[in-house]
């Protein structure tokens, strides 16, 4: 699922935690963070350390993927080569 904001990630995290029937406390202990962190992140706190998030995602068996937004299907004719456009823009 695409993560566009922290709120979306928070919803995903909370849903996953409930699906695994873990309490905030249990998840926190698994991931090595405090319950406060879990509670606040699920509440949509905009600032959170990436390292903690990765640990929590790992504890929930969730994986994070990073990919170019528009270049995912770069070979297609209709696809936009953003890199080329930007580079041309910067060169011009």
Partner DNA sequence: TACGGTTGACACCGAACGGTGTCACCGGCA
Partner DNA sequence: TGCCGGTGACACCGTTCGGTGTCAACCGTA
**Smallest distance, DNA to C-beta of residue 20, A:** 11
| CA-CA-CA-CA dihedral for 66, 71, 73, 79, to nearest 10 | 160
Return the structure tokens found at 62.
């969730």
Q: Which of 54, 74, 79, 81 binds a second copy (CB under 8 A)?
A: 54
How many residues belong to the site for DNA (CB under 7 A)? 20
Using alpha carbons, list the distances in angstroms from residue 41 to 8, 60, 79: 11, 14, 36
The binding site for a second copy (CB under 8 A) comprises 1-6, 9, 12, 16, 19-22, 46-51, 53-54, 57, 61-70, 72, 82-83, 86-87, 90-91
């Amino acid at each position: 699922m695409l993560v566009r904001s922290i709120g979306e990630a928070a919803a995903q995290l909370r849903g996953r935690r409930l699906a695994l029937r873990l309490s905030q406390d249990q998840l926190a202990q698994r991931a090595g963070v405090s319950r406060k962190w879990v509670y606040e992140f699920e509440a949509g706190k905009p600032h959170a350390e990436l390292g903690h998030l990765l640990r929590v995602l790992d504890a929930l068996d969730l994986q994070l993927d990073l990919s170019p937004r528009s270049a995912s299907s770069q070979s297609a004719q209709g696809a936009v080569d953003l890199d080329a456009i930007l580079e041309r823009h910067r060169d011009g």
